[in-house]
Structure 1
Amino acid sequence: MLALLLGALALWGASKMTWFAEFRDEGVRGTVRYTESGEQRASALVPLAILALAGVAGAIATSGWPRRVLGVVLVLAGAAGVWAGLDGIRFGGFAPGVPGTQIVLGHLIAALGGILLALGGLAAIKWAGTARKLGARYAAPGANAARKDPDTELWEALSEGSDPTEPPGPRR
């Protein structure tokens, strides 16, 4: 779950960083530096961060196959985060005055957030059966045991060699 929280933080943080910058001629204003944030260039970053936070709640509240399905969704979302981070990344050739380091760092942080999201999904899949779900400690110890049909219990008692019609207590 820590991986999901850190992944959400990384994806949200990357969405606020500069992902694109260039100088444009604005006519009367002259040459102006134009920038776009990660949120503008890769619009999936913030929804993926929100999905990671929802994944934390879902992993706490579920167990078994619903947690496995959630894990698969989180792995796919993590792959989308990695794709969004690495798509269009450029490691050099920036014009003077363009924050090239911040642009590359924003892309890499988004990719890291996607990796953390995928790892959180894999952890949810792996420990779906063993990890406890929310409210499990409040359930009665025998609540999950299937109740048998009374007729079936009578037949099983006969198969074991006891008389089910005999009242309980010491035998004579």
Structure 2
Amino acid sequence: MSDPTPDPEPDPASDRADKRPLWIVVAALALGAAALWGASRLTWLAEPRAAGVRGTVLHTEDGAQAAVALVPLAVLALAGVAGMVATGGWPRRLLGAVLVLAGLAAAWIAVDGARTSGYPAGAPVGEMLAAHGLALVGGLLVAAGGALGLRWAGRMPRLGARYSAPGAKHRPADSDAHLWEALSDGEDPTIGR
């Protein structure tokens, strides 16, 4: 005897709740990558150097020159976004651990040379402090995104998970979505209409 109850309609609120951890991780990693890249564009180092005939001049370097790991760490965090979306299970956990270490490395780079006094005359002190602070925030965001990815690895959806294992069919709430579902399943949605 068949079950007379119809298939329950999918709840859009529960779908959003299932995707929320993924969006939090993606946002943390993307913001962390942007902060690290921004810190690499700001003045990171200013010191007087002998310039031959010109005497002593103020030499400045941006974060990409003075702290060369900032840009690769930003690229790693950005790649981590794609990795968190596309993977699942233990690869996602491994990626989360790598991102935690990368974030902590970026935070260490930010605090390792930061100082509040002893700058030469004419140095852009405010910009230098902002660069270190931005790198610290970026590193912490990347570490937090990796840690949340570790914690929520099983709860987050992944790319293509819909096609990975056939299961109970659910009825789409939208008739157009039903047509696309039928096409995805290899059926002709126009037959029987």
Q: Pairwise CA RMSD of aligned residues?
A: 1.5
For residues 90-126 of structure 1, give each alpha carbon's deviation from its aligned partner in whole angstroms, at most 9, with x where no partner exists.
Answer: 1112232111111111111111110000011011111
Q: Are residues 1:95 and 2:124 paired?
A: no
Paired position in structure 2 for 1:133: 158
Q: Are residues 1:22 and 2:47 paired?
A: yes
Percent identity, aligned pairs only?
59
Paired position in structure 2 for 1:38: 63
5+ residue gaps, structure 1, are 144-172
TM-aligned CA deviation for residue 32 of structure 1: 2.0
Paired position in structure 1 for 2:129: 104
Taking structure 1 as the reference length, the TM-score comes to 0.78
Q: Distance in 2 between matches of 1:22 and 1:105?
A: 17
Paired position in structure 1 for 2:27: 2
TM-aligned CA deviation for residue 140 of structure 1: 4.6
For residues 140-169 of structure 1, give each alpha carbon's deviation from its aligned partner in whole angstroms, at most 9, with x where no partner exists.
Answer: 5339xxxxxxxxxxxxxxxxxxxxxxxxxx
Paired position in structure 1 for 2:79: 54
TM-aligned CA deviation for residue 6 of structure 1: 0.5
Q: 2:59 is paired with a residue of what secondary structure?
A: strand
Q: Distance in 1 between matches of 2:67 and 2:126?
A: 18
Q: Distance in 1 between matches of 2:31 and 2:59?
A: 30
> Greater Rg, structure 1 or structure 2?
1
Q: Distance in 1 between matches of 2:50 and 2:105?
A: 35
TM-aligned CA deviation for residue 85 of structure 1: 0.7
Structure 1 runs, 4 residues or longer, greater than 3 Å off = none
